[in-house]
Amino acid sequence: MLTELYSMDVAQSEDTEQYFALGNLVRSYCAKNWSSTNRLYMKKEKKQAYYFSMEFLLGRMLKSNLLNLGILETVRGGLKELGIDLEKIVQIEADPGLGNGGLGRLAACFIDSMATCEIPGHGNGIRFKYGLFKQKFVNGYQVELPENWLQNGNVWETRRMNMAVTVSFYGKVWLEETVNGYMLPHYENTERVLAVPYDTPIIGYGNNTVNTLRLWSAELPAQDEAMDYWSYIQRRNRIESISEVLYPDDSNYEGRLLRLKQEYFFVSAGIQSIIRHYKKMGLSINHLAEKVAIHINDTHPALCIPELMRLLLDEEHLDWEHAWNITINVMSYTNHTIMSEALEKWPIDMISSLLPRVYQIISEIDRRYVEKMAALHSTGKIERTRIIEGGHVKMAHLAIIGSHSINGVAKLHTAILKEKVLHDFFLIYPSRFNNKTNGITQRRWLMLANEPLRELINEKIGNDWEKTLTELKMLKAFRNDEETLKELAEIKRINKAHFAEYVLDALKIEVDPDAIFDVQIKRLHAYKRQLLNLLHILKLYLDLKEDPKTDIHPRVFIFGAKAAPSYTYAKEIIKLINSVAELINHDASINNKLKIVFIENYGVSLAEKIIPAADVSEQISLASKEASGTSNMKLMLNGAVTLATLDGANVEIRDRVGSENIIIFGLTDKEVYQYYQDGSYHSHDYYENNPVLQRVLNTLIDGTIPDAETEGRDIFNSLVNYGDEYFVLRDFDEYVAAQKKIDKLYRDPLTWQRMALINIAGAGVFSSDYTVLQYANDIWDVAYRPDAGEL
């Protein structure tokens, strides 16, 4: 392959050529299975599921593909013989950051699991030229740099020009009656965009299934090349900008026109290509819902609903009732957040000028909804739930009204949707609501990221767990086996030493692998309460300053977090953490008992390094706010002990491991809602009445923390004087007590390792294999390999 691609042999080649040669080899190795999978789906007319998501946060794919193909060890060995280190060349691959955080990474775990469980299910999204920004710290401030992940090419994708489709924007539309009596649209002055698909094989683990991730790129249609040069360049730039860059906002909606264009672009292209493919099977459009399921990952692809209606009405000439019936049966929707600032709603003007025909259809869906509900429900409820209201199109309402299934992503989250956030809808459509607790793939997050642990588990209980993760429960038999517990400790120690090397190399901070590695890795958001973590660190610092002999086990607090570029408060928190890190890490009197490591540019690849090295998993969001969380699952699977509020999937983690093996603190969701109701939370009182907390908070404004006056002042005010929206001060004491408990438990190595072991043993249910099987069964109604993972 090296010779074919670069006309050179191994001895002359460098890492980059070796990487691309191997990548090409792997791609051709799976090519046969890729086409035979497609042929099989076609021949057997299998019902297929399409997971529509604005984001797929894949991470590097070389090792994961080798693992899933079952050739990781062979290739590693073969390369070694040639004097090549596989670990070195996998680093060459750019980490495609085509997502922000949890929602995007979930989509990546799901497609891996669908292929593994032999579910005919594919991804559909956007081939962003620039992924999520690269984060750099300059003087402790976050600076965003472009992430040009395609610069050196992408071995995994195949451009399929022959499958390109056209997506139209703008223009004027009117309906005219045809001779057959159909009312069909006529368009004038539309802007046509060519959507070109790039397909990536999604390889199942240990089987012959290869599904497809189809990502769309926006290009100028060929006929436009005839126009004058400058107009051509301008138009090309405008069109290509559609798939240029991923919006870096996580849970923060902004009604930007380009974002709406992106949403419609990949929705329309995806649905057109699904229908085209469906028709190739020679089936009548009337049976579409028997062969196609479309899943809407949060509301970002909610335009799937009017777009499918448009195609069924305007292209297939179905009547409204019939088309609507098919649409509802095809569509299903997952909600990923209750944060009100994340709810998408587009101004009518924007949507009606950009997508005139789609807007007509949305209006008609809304009109019919109001008409139908009038006889059944109060006007208040109808007004609160209709799609078009207050000059906006509400995307969540569209998604709910147009889908047969609406799910939350953890039991608690689904309960809150039903009882609070979507209560009106729950009363209207009770049977549409269901829960699908998130999951993670054990292949990337244990088998690849933590090879020593994988080996140990295999030694103890065999390798059935690799396919059926609940088999990890067999580890419980070793809970009192000192030797196993010591081996577990040894592995953690190795992983920590490994990560410590990275920290020294990348950040020039020396950390002691015998310290507690306390990890909080997730987007920076006020509700996730990185501040609570920081206030506790400041407390420990003050304790040590007052009495250098304060008896605490040394700790390394590890943070990884990007802030949305426009989220000023989150960026201030980053700066504050970095300033506190400066203060503590350079204070010799602290005697290395405390260290803060804020790693730059947290993403999938860094997560793979950090998670195996974690002792403590910080899951400390304000109860009710974190829909599920998934780093909580990855960390427990790698033997970290969870320090958590009863939020999201933390509740289910507690149910699995038992209260003795997780440290829970803080307000419950019920208490939070009670506070909202009676308005009785006054954060200032906590400042006034709690001397320890007061002293900690004063460090934000009294000059203790170097070079963060503005940030310290703003954050102090938000907590003390402006209401403390996420109850940080309320939960402070309980958090400090919980941390003390951690300190105590850690000093008893056997007790600690037993907790770690029970966490690993209990993590089995959180395999995304089970999650996608539940989607396949309960929502999509697609068939899969019968023995794929037994629950």
Whether 522 is a known active-site residue: answer yes
- Looking at beta carbons, which residue is closest to ligand 26W? 102
Whether 555 is a known active-site residue: answer no
Q: Which residue of 140, 201, 612, 648 would you call a contact of ligand 26W, by CB under 6 A?
A: 648
Query: Quick one: which H or E segment has residue 782?
Result: none
Whether 634 is a known active-site residue: answer yes
Q: Which residue of 13, 209, 251, 437 would you call a contact of ligand 26W, by CB under 6 A?
A: 251
**Site track for ligand 26W across 47-86, x = CB under 6 A:** ----------------------------------------
Nearer to ligand 26W, 757 or 765 (CB): 765
Nearer to ligand 26W, 256 or 741 (CB): 256
DSSP assignment of 164-206: -EEEEESSEEEEEE-TTS-EEEEEESPEEEEEEEEEEEEEPTT
CA–CA distance, 93 with 71 (Å, rounded to integer): 18
**Site track for ligand 26W across 591-630, x = CB under 6 A:** -----------------------------------xxxxx
Residue 436 and residue 334 in contact, taking contact as beta carbons nearer than 8 Å = yes
400, two tokens: 């709910």
Whether 441 is a known active-site residue: answer no
Catalytic residue among 394, 522, 575, 595: 522
Q: Which of residues 79-108 bind ligand 26W (CB under 6 A)?
A: 100-103, 106
Query: C-alpha dihedral over 665, 671, 676, 682, to 10 degrees?
Result: -60
The minimum distance between CB 400 and ligand 26W, in angstroms, equals 15
747, amino acid identity: R
Size of the site for ligand 26W (CB under 6 A): 23
Which single residue is written with the structure tokens 């609070």? 420
The minimum distance between CB 613 and ligand 26W, in angstroms, equals 22
The minimum distance between CB 560 and ligand 26W, in angstroms, equals 16
Nearer to ligand 26W, 272 or 414 (CB): 414
Q: Which residue of 216, 253, 499, 602 would you call a contact of ligand 26W, by CB under 6 A?
A: 253
* Sign of the C-alpha dihedral computed for residues 490, 492, 498 and 503 taken in this order: negative
- Would you call 685 exposed, middle or buried from its count of C-beta atoms within 10 A (0-12, 13-18, 19+)? exposed
Residue 667 and residue 727 in contact, taking contact as beta carbons nearer than 8 Å = yes
Nearest to 294 by CA among 45, 41, 52: 52
Catalytic residue among 528, 539, 575, 609: 528
Nearer to ligand 26W, 344 or 366 (CB): 344
Residue 383 and residue 389 in contact, taking contact as beta carbons nearer than 8 Å = yes
Nearer to ligand 26W, 467 or 525 (CB): 525
Whether 630 is a known active-site residue: answer yes
Nearer to ligand 26W, 236 or 420 (CB): 420
Nearer to ligand 26W, 95 or 219 (CB): 95
Residue 414 and residue 438 in contact, taking contact as beta carbons nearer than 8 Å = no
The minimum distance between CB 627 and ligand 26W, in angstroms, equals 4
User: Distance between alpha carbon 93 and the CA centroid of its chain, in Å?
Assistant: 21
**Site track for ligand 26W across 317-356, x = CB under 6 A:** -------------------xx----x-x------------
Q: Show the beta-strand stretches assigned E in 72-133.
A: 121-126
* Binding status of residue 131 toward ligand 26W by CB under 6 A: no
The minimum distance between CB 701 and ligand 26W, in angstroms, equals 31
Q: Which of residues 378-437 bind ligand 26W (CB under 6 A)?
A: 409
CA–CA distance, 198 with 213 (Å, rounded to integer): 8
Query: C-alpha dihedral over 295, 209, 782, 294, to 10 degrees?
Result: 20
> Phi, psi at residue 520, to the nearest 5°?
-125, 105
Nearest to 726 by CA among 569, 499, 586: 569
Q: Which of residues 280-319 bind ligand 26W (CB under 6 A)?
A: 298
> 191-203 and 210-219: which strand pairing?
antiparallel
Nearer to ligand 26W, 23 or 131 (CB): 131
Residues labelled as active-site residues: 336, 522-523, 528, 630, 634
Residues that bind ligand 26W (CB under 6 A): 100-103, 106, 249-253, 298, 336-337, 342, 344, 409, 438, 626-630, 648
